[in-house]
Structure 1
Amino acid sequence: MASVGRGRQAKLSIPWEGMRELFHSWSGKGDLFAGLAAVLGNDEFQRWTPRDVERRAHRVLFENCLLSLQRMPVRTRDWLAVIPVHSQVAQVTSPSLQGRIDWAATRRSGWPPSQFMGRARQRSSDETLLSVLRWTVERMLLVYRDSRYVRYRSENSVERQLAALDELVERPELQQVEPVVPDAAMIKDLQRSGARWRVVAELADVLRREETRDLIALAKAQIAPDPKMGSALFHLGVFGIVLRVLRAGGHNPISLRPILGGAKGAAYEMATDGQTWHLWFEAADLWAEYGKVEPYVEAARGLKNPGRTKSPDILLVNRARRRALIIECKYSEKGDYIREGYEQVLTYLTEARTSMIDAGEAFVVAPGEMVSTASTGLTHSGPVTFCAPEHLEVELKRAFAQLQE
């Protein structure tokens, strides 16, 4: 998986153009969370699911909600005092005396009367405002619970405000309406409904952005600020660059499976010049798929603790012509951590040369802040290149063209 060094993380760039290429075939945040979980799924300390990724994203979202929460009431009764209530006089029919009786209308229905006709004042709440309020409160409480699930603690305590919201959502005034995700017009209506409702509008506007179909905006707001999530975004962005290079070259990669954690086999397949290439995303089951045993597995059979085998982040392979491109993503500000990528890709390349390919090239891709220019070293197993995402497009075109010769 794309690696991130330990300790404080500098603000490192993400290849957003590659992300945009990948998002063309994704329909919503569920695909984004699933893709990130697929990258993080190789974490030896945790098995990631899309729901785990969503919880991490909610940690960032909760931080974005704090200013609004701090201005909210700490008592439920203060909320009930501002719920808008309207009253109107309505015609009613009742078997007993209620309200103001219309005796003339009652007499016309027969005497002695079995029903009494009259008028009564009925109170009702603004259903739209309450529906938006219910959605906002329920969503806010979910985000809060998720932020606690990942052991997040904010220095700015809003426990009393959240407790008031927890009580408010159980009130009949909110339970009698269905929650509604607000649109821009509803947000404006809330803003015009008073000072307290302006705070609700502000909070609802922050929360509803997670429902956007603009996955770039969502990733920038809730994923990229988290260093661990940033490394997964980097990996996905690099994969998107590979797809863009192939498509720009007139090739047509066909998706074989979604980008999901635990999914097996190549992610894309493409035919060019009568040959089939397979594009792998997290090539963990590569050797089993090809019916071969990885050399490391053979070498480590005698070890009591052989550890986990490692695999390329991204692999483009032609089994018939025995050619391959290998890519390892290193999202870190630590030079020694990035340099470890050389040993990794050289191992992958050397192992592949033993029984799977006859020629190949490998790349270690790190953030642009850490790589000033692409540089290549020639080894017995094949060329190894350090580069940034901005260099990768040119390097891949060159390498792929050479492997097709």
Structure 2
Amino acid sequence: MAIRRAGTPWGIVSEIVNELALLDAPPYVLATELLAPDDGIRWRLFHLGVLGEVLQAARQLGYQVRSCGPVRPGGRQPSFVLSDADGGTVDLWFEASGIWQAMGLRSPYAEAASGIALKERMLGADLLLRRPDGAFLIVECKYSSNPDFVARNGYYQAVTYAAELASRTQVHVTAIAVGPEGVVGRTGFTDLKVGRIGICPPSALREVMRLFLAQPHSTAISSVSGKGPQTLAD
């Protein structure tokens, strides 16, 4: 403050020093001060934050987390592998369009859009987990303060991804849209022929993960009915 009051050019020097000091700050400070103000990147921070919640939940549930390389969209292999004490593994994909090639299948979207003069592309969920028995958990991130946007767009995409995977693999699919705390007050699920579809806040992810990883997949994930960690007894 004393430097800033010294007048030109020290006021500018003070501002530069303050900005440089952020480089030594913890990562969350950098994200808050330098990245969050950018409208074009806030949604990506939410996406990465949800990924962090999923990985933390896996660790809390006793899984070892192994990175398979840099986190990037559309890769042809999982971004992480979760391993349990018995040696079982669960693949975790980031922006999972590459899973179609990994499974040796053509994306239904690519087939439906084949008559349009566009480069072939595949839809991919923000996060996708695949259990050894083939069951899928789709996590779609929807960052907005508008509840209608989170609910409507999140539901549309969750249903779409679930329908695509279920129709090609014939296995159980659970798909959730995750919106910000406060925008999504509690978790809700519904059952469709393509799988289980829901919307939840980040604080419910640990319980969703617990049921997906540790319970037979016929277990009612709709028992996750509120914010924060819960048990079936709740």
Structure-1 separation of matches of 2:73 and 2:192: 33
C-alpha contact 2:141 2:178 (8 A) present in aligned 1? yes
CA RMSD for the aligned pairs?
2.7
Q: Which has the higher helix share?
A: 1
Q: Give the superposition deviation at 1:327.
A: 0.5
CA 1:258 to 1:306, structure 2 compared with 1: closer, same or farther past 3 Å? closer
**Per-residue CA shift, 1:12-34, capped at 9, x if unaligned?**
xxxxxxxxxxxxxxxxxxxxxxx
> Number of residues paired by the alignment?
216
Q: Secondary structure at the match of 1:221?
A: helix
Offset at residue 276 of structure 1 (A): 2.2
**Matched letter for residue 124 of structure 2:** S
How far apart, CA to CA, are the structure 1 residues paired with 2:174 and 2:61? Answer: 19
SS in 1 for 2:162: helix
Give the superposition deviation at 1:262. Answer: 6.1
Equivalent residue runs for 1:6-405 within 5 Å: 191=3, 195-196=7-8, 198-260=10-72, 263-272=75-84, 273-304=86-117, 308-318=121-131, 320-338=132-150, 339-356=152-169, 358-403=171-216
Alpha-carbon displacement from aligned partner over 1:131-156 (angstroms, at most 9, x marks no partner): xxxxxxxxxxxxxxxxxxxxxxxxxx
Please give the per-residue CA displacement for 1:302-326, whole angstroms capped at 9, x wherever unaligned.
Answer: 34458853210000112x4111110
AA paired with 2:45? Answer: L
Describe the shift of the 1:357–1:276 C-alpha distance in structure 2 as closer, same or farther (beyond 3 A).
Answer: farther
Q: Which runs of 5+ in 2 are unaligned?
A: 219-234
Per-residue CA distance 1:255-294 (angstroms, 9 max, x = gap): 0011245654211012233432111111121101221111
Residues of 1 paired with 2:119 and 2:73: CA distance? 23
- Matches of 1:247 and 1:292, distance apart in 2: 31
Evaluate the alpha carbon distance shift between residue 404 and residue 287 of structure 1 in structure 2; reply closer, same or farther with a 3 A threshold.
Answer: same
Q: Is the 8 A contact 1:361 1:382 kept in 2?
A: yes
Q: Which has the higher contact order (CA 8 A, sep 6+)?
A: 1
Q: Rg larger in 1 or in 2?
A: 1
Indicate the larger mover: 255-264 or 364-373: 255-264
Secondary structure of the residue aligned to 1:351 is helix
Q: Per-residue CA shift, 1:331-356, capped at 9, x if unaligned? A: 11333422122121112112112333
Tell me how far apart the structure 1 counterparts of residues 153 and 7 of structure 2 sit (CA, whole Å): 56
Relative to the length of structure 2, the TM-score reads 0.81
SS of aligned partner of 1:370: coil
SS at match of 2:64: coil
Partners in 1 of 2:73 and 2:176 — Cα distance?
23
The one-letter code matched in structure 2 to 1:370 is V
Distance 1:374 1:205 in 2: 45
Please state how far the C-alpha of 1:381 moved relative to its aligned partner: 1.6
- Unaligned regions of 5+ residues in structure 1, if any? 1-187
- In 2, the alpha carbon distance for the partners of 1:302 and 1:262 equals 23
Identity of aligned residues (%): 30
Q: Deviation at 1:380?
A: 1.2
For residues 54-103 of structure 1, the C-alpha deviation after alignment (integer angstroms, 9 at most, x for no partner) is xxxxxxxxxxxxxxxxxxxxxxxxxxxxxxxxxxxxxxxxxxxxxxxxxx
Paired residues of 1:191 and 1:197 also in contact (CA < 8 A): no
- Compared CA separation, residues 240 and 292, structure 1 to 2 (3 A): same
Q: Is the 8 A contact 2:35 2:41 kept in 1?
A: yes
Once the two structures are overlaid, the 10-residue window that deviates more, 322-331 or 201-210, is 201-210
Show CA shifts across 1:150-192 (max 9, x none): xxxxxxxxxxxxxxxxxxxxxxxxxxxxxxxxxxxxxx9x949
Give the match for residue 232 of structure 2: none
